[in-house]
């Protein structure tokens, strides 16, 4: 390509300017594509699998009891500063104890 440009009467600096323009354009297109992809994925992700929606579906299918639904709903809607990591682990361990299944 450089050889063809030199044959047409252009010089090396014209080639560099053209290359920089192409790189800038490619960069702008890449940023635009990334932004559109990120926007579409974030919107799709919010609708497809929010924790509250999954909780409602599990309750509707009978996989969890009303008590577990209410407790889980409260966990989803409380502020993070009210509970520590240990509280979440303790709740999980309580749920995993034998005899505390999902109604089976």
Query: Is residue 81's pLDDT more than 70?
Result: no
Higher pLDDT, 77 or 15: 77
| pLDDT in the model for residue 29 | 95
Contacts with 83 (C-beta within 8 Å, 6 or more apart), sequence order: 75
State pTM to two decimals.
0.35
Q: What percent of the chain has pLDDT over 70?
A: 67
And the tokens for 99? 């005899």
pLDDT tops 80 at residue 73:
yes
pLDDT tens digits, one per residue of 7-33: 566 666 776 777 788 888 999 999 999
User: 15 Cβ partners below 8 Å, 6+ apart?
Assistant: 1, 2, 5
Rounded distance between C-alpha atoms, residue 29 and residue 104, angstroms: 55
pLDDT one-digit tens code per residue, 38-69: 887 766 655 545 788 888 999 999 999 999 99
pLDDT at 96: 86
> What local confidence, expressed as pLDDT, does residue 89 receive?
85
pLDDT of residue 91: 85
């Amino acid at each position: 390509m450089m050889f063809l440009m030199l044959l047409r009467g252009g010089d090396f600096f014209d080639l560099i300017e053209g290359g920089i323009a192409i790189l800038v354009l490619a960069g702008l297109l890449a940023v635009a594509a990334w932004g559109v992809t990120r926007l579409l994925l974030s919107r799709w992700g919010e609708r497809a699998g929010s924790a509250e929606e999954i909780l409602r579906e599990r309750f509707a299918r009978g996989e969890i009891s009303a008590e577990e639904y209410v407790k889980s709903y409260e966990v989803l809607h409380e502020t993070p500063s009210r509970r520590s990591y240990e509280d979440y682990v303790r709740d999980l361990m309580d749920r995993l104890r034998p005899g505390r299944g999902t109604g089976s």
